[in-house]
Amino acid sequence: MAEFKDNLLGEANRFLEVLEQVSRLAPLDKPVLIIGERGTGKELIANRLHYLSSRWQGPLISLNCAALNENLLDSELFGHEAGAFTGAQKRHPGRFERADGGTLFLDELATAPMLVQEKLLRVIEYGELERVGGSQPLQVNVRLVCATNADLPAMVKEGTFRADLLDRLAFDVVQLPPLRERQSDIMLMAEHFAIQMCRELRLPLFPGFTDRAKETLLHYAWPGNVRELKNVVERSVYRHGSSEHPLDEIVIDPFQRHPAEPPAPALPAASVTPDLPLKLREFQLQQEKALLQRS
């Protein structure tokens, strides 16, 4: 069993309501659908659902559906038999089999093709599946937790997502608020991430943020949400590299370079030739005079 590390931080009312909802859902053996923008902590919510449930001693298996094409996703989820396709030299248990007795978390569910959606529905309804290239149904006992940022009801209307699968998955929907709607949590998390980074850098303490840094953190839109906040704070602490003075420069864009130094003023025309030491200059004049006399 993996160690449970609950890194869900926050005091905003909307966030606390989500945690309360998750605590009520966790003991139920029902599918859960998590909706949230990238970086809002969907996988952390899935972890919390698992470890607060009666399945906490069982496996917690994760898979990002967007990372694989249709054939590979089919094989990775449901497994395959030896010889099922070119290169399949031995039987491969899928994620559902490996999650038996526990929880399977599927991220980016909206990218799953219709064939995979059909097989997911069968597992939810009957608790059974067939490996790719197999003919015998296998029974599995898995709780399914899925996450997406897509508008699944709109996809149902477009015909790109199965309505019956959405009905079965959406026993309840956990909607994670974006960080821009959790203003009171931004500095709380920023200080937490900064202290962690100081420990990693072996700095004696975190000296705090200046008012200018706080203003930058609070007024940025955070399209990448908590994940982006963590990266920005860690990068800024690393570049600051000191415990003596408060952190003032928040580095949001790692590709941004410091403004170039203004060019030095042009030298007057008479001074274009660099000055030479006096003795060397006299020697040069003597040589030029000697050449003129010879000519």
- pLDDT score of 294 more than 80: no
Distances (CA, A) of 159 to 108, 148, 280: 18, 17, 86
Residue 184 to residue 217: CA distance in whole angstroms: 11
Structure tokens at 264: 């030095």
Helix pair 114-126, 70-78: axis angle to 10 deg: 20
Can you tell me which residue has the tokens 């079965």? 168
Q: How many C-beta atoms surround the C-beta of residue 258 within 10 A?
A: 6
DSSP 254-271: TTPPPPPPPPPPPPPGGG
pLDDT at 39: 96
**pLDDT for 260:** 39
Q: How many CB atoms lie within 10 A of CB 285?
A: 10
Query: What's the rounded Cα separation, in Å, for the pair 233 and 191?
Result: 8
Query: What confidence score (pLDDT) does residue 130 get?
Result: 87
**Same CATH fold, 180-240 and 13-177?**
no
- 147-167 pLDDT, tens digit per residue, is 999 999 999 999 999 999 999
Write down the mean pLDDT value for the chain. 88
Q: Which helix (H) or strand (E) holds 157?
A: helix 152-158
Given a contact cutoff of 8 angstroms between Cβ atoms, the answer to whether 180 and 157 are in contact is no
Domain covering 180-240, topology: Helicase, Ruva Protein; domain 3 (1.10.8)
CB 38 within 8 A of CB 227: yes
User: pLDDT-derived band of residue 1, with 50, 70 and 90 as boundaries?
Assistant: very low
Residue that is written with structure tokens 């003023």 in the block: 265
CA distance 249 to 176: 29
Q: How confident is the model at residue 96 (pLDDT cuts 50, 70, 90)?
A: very high
Residue 281: pLDDT over 60: no
pLDDT-derived band at 216, boundaries 50, 70, 90: very high
Strand partners, 173: 33
For the record, the structure tokens of 162 come out as 């199965």
Which pair of structure tokens corresponds to residue 176?
């994670």
Task: Write down the domain spans for the chain.
Answer: 13-177, 180-240
* This prediction's pTM: 0.81
pLDDT of residue 88: 63
* pLDDT tens, residue by residue, 116-127: 999 999 999 999
Residues 132-136, mean pLDDT to the nearest whole number: 78
The C-alpha atoms of residue 160 and residue 110 are separated, in whole angstroms, by 9
pLDDT at site 210: 98
Give me 68's structure tokens. 């694989």
> What pLDDT shows up at residue 131?
86
Q: Please identify which residue in the block is written with the tokens 């149904």.
A: 137
Report the pLDDT averaged over residues 264-290: 54
Confidence of residue 270 (pLDDT cuts 50, 70, 90): very low
- Report d(CA 209, CA 183) in Å as an integer: 16
Short-list 193, 174, 211, 145, CA closest to 10 = 193
Q: Tell me what percent of the residues of the chain surpass a pLDDT of 70.
A: 82
When pLDDT is cut at 50, 70 and 90, the band that residue 259 belongs to is very low
What is the pLDDT, as a whole number, of residue 288?
64
What CATH number was assigned to the domain covering residues 13-177? 3.40.50.300
**pLDDT range class, residue 276, cuts 50, 70, 90:** very low
Q: Partners of 105 in the beta sheet?
A: 62, 145
pLDDT at 124: 95
